[in-house]
Amino acid sequence: DAGVTQSPTHLIKTRGQQVTLRCSPKSGHDTVSWYQQALGQGPQFIFQYYEEEERQRGNFPDRFSGHQFPNYSSELNVNALLLGDSALYLCASSLGVGGLVNEQFFGPGTRLTVL
Amino acid sequence: SQQGEEDPQALSIQEGENATMNCSYKTSINNLQWYRQNSGRGLVHLILIRSNEREKHSGRLRVTLDTSKKSSSLLITASRAADTASYFCAPGSSNTGKLIFGQGTTLQVKP
User: Contacts by A98-101 with C-beta closer than 8 Å and gap 24+?
Assistant: A98/B94, A99/B94, A99/B97, A100/B30, A100/B31, A100/B92, A100/B94, A100/B97, A101/B30, A101/B31, A101/B33, A101/B90, A101/B92, A101/B93, A101/B94, A101/B96, A101/B97, A101/B98, A101/B99
Interface test with B, best of A23, A101, A103 (most B CBs within 10 A): A101
| pLDDT given for residue A95 in this prediction | 84
CB distance B97–A44 less than 8 Å?
no
Q: Which residue has the higher pLDDT, A103 or B71?
A: B71
A45 contacts chain B (CB < 8 A): yes
- pLDDT tens string for chain B (111 positions)? 567 888 899 999 999 999 999 999 988 888 999 999 998 788 999 999 999 999 999 999 999 999 999 999 999 999 999 999 999 999 987 766 677 888 899 999 999
Residue A4 to residue A96: CA distance in whole angstroms:
16
Smallest Cβ–Cβ distance between B99 and the set A40, A45, A111 belongs to: A45
